Amino acid sequence: MSLNADQLLARLYALRKDYADDPQDETYQALHHAFLYISYNMAGFKDYVKKETAKPAPE
């Protein structure tokens, strides 16, 4: 089962919250900026996810 764009963004948000106790942590920074970038570009992300999930799975 593949996740849709909204579900992926929600998972990214949850991961980001796991590291929120240390905003200087590199993992938090990476997740935070990825979350912000994707959420601000949601239309493009939805298109990307739709195209990627339509591709056949590698064997």
Distance CA 27, CA 22 (A): 9
Question: Is 56 a domain residue?
Answer: no
Question: Is 59 a domain residue?
Answer: no
pLDDT of 4 reads 95
Question: Is 55 a domain residue?
Answer: no
pLDDT of 1 reads 61
pLDDT of 59 reads 77
Backbone phi, psi, residue 5, to 5°: -60, -40
Domain count, the chain: 1
Question: Is 38 a domain residue?
Answer: yes
Domain limits at 30? Answer: 5-50
pLDDT tens digits along 1-24:
689 999 999 999 999 999 999 999
pLDDT tens digits along 34-53:
999 999 999 999 999 999 99
Question: Is 31 a domain residue?
Answer: yes
pLDDT of 56 reads 87
